Amino acid sequence: MEKFKYNSKKTVLNSIIKKEESCSDKTTYFDFFGLKLSSVKKEILIEDIKETIDKNQKKTIFGYSLGSIRLFNKYPIMISFGWETADIMLVDGRGLFLLGKFLKFPVEDDLSIPQLSKHLLELSEENKYSILFLGTKESINREATDKIKKCYKNIRVFNGINGYFTVEQEEQIVNQINSCKPDILFVGISSPKKEEFVKRWKEKLDVNIIILCGGVIDIFAGDKKQTPPWLKKIGGASLYRFIQEPVRLSKYFFPFVFFFFFNFLPVIILNVLILKNRDFSIPDFYIGKN
């Protein structure tokens, strides 16, 4: 794998895109300070996913946001999952997208996991694909399933499975999924459980597309609202989610704000813009740090 390199003569950073041999020619990635991220255009990615399903192949879709980086110390599997398990790694958040653009990385379309999930429903409607929701509470999962069935008449929507299961029950869950053989599996479970589950069972899951989608199932159910486009464009998605659930998310939102302004941003400014450290790695820096 060819890493990114500094090029002080032209720009602060010069990323070298490399195609993955295991993926189609449409999928490329770049190394963002030790993190694997995909350089994709929406139309090309959607076509790539369609081709994967039609050819009965398999791909896993994951994404990083600035909020993800704060969790690396606690959940290091989030780093290894990106490199070892995921086939497509989205820049899942406006903040990381803008940072990538500023530092001259080859980020293309600003496409988050929730946005892609909506596009996958539209793709499934057009091509009569089947889907299954794995995650969230039983009642919310059922509500999301019912709403998709009503709104998308051409999608074959299997009864979903809630995300409250133990490691000992995972094989049973996999067998249940495989009995349906959905084209697309939405995994809406919190970290690190969703990464651990998919990493253990990816090869045995009889599905074509696995998308780790966090709280997207709750959005489909109407339990949560998706961030308005104008607010997302200015990086306000985290604030919008916090306003919807201030009590539950206060323990995540305020530590993230502190982390970004007093930890991550100064670290990037020092190592990338001032010291121009050619070997700076986000995983190396944050693993083992509080």
pLDDT in tens, 93-148: 899 999 999 999 999 999 999 999 999 999 999 999 999 999 999 999 999 999 99
Interatomic CA distance for residues 65 and 67, integer angstroms: 5
| Helix-helix angle 237-244:246-259, to 10 degrees | 150
Closest C-alpha to 57, from 27, 18, 79: 27
Q: Kind of pairing, strands 88-91 and 59-64?
A: parallel
Please give the pLDDT value at position 13.
34
- Mean pLDDT for the chain overall: 88
Percent of the chain whose pLDDT exceeds 70: 90
Please give the pLDDT value at position 16.
37
Please give the pLDDT value at position 241.
76
Percent of the chain whose pLDDT exceeds 90: 75
| Helix-helix angle 193-201:170-180, to 10 degrees | 70
pLDDT in tens, 191-249: 999 999 999 999 999 999 999 998 999 999 998 777 887 877 777 778 887 788 787 77
> In the block, which residue shows the tokens 């379309």?
109
- Report, as an integer, the average pLDDT of 69-92: 94
Please give the pLDDT value at position 52.
97
The domain locations on the chain are 5-221
Please give the pLDDT value at position 233.
77
Please give the pLDDT value at position 238.
80
Confidence of residue 289 (pLDDT cuts 50, 70, 90): low
Interatomic CA distance for residues 211 and 34, integer angstroms: 22
pLDDT at 153 over 80: yes
DSSP H or E stretch at residue 156: strand 156-157
pLDDT at 257 over 60: yes
Ramachandran assignment for 160, one of left (phi > 0), alpha (psi -120 to 50 degrees), beta (any other):
beta
pLDDT in tens, 34-47: 999 999 899 999 99
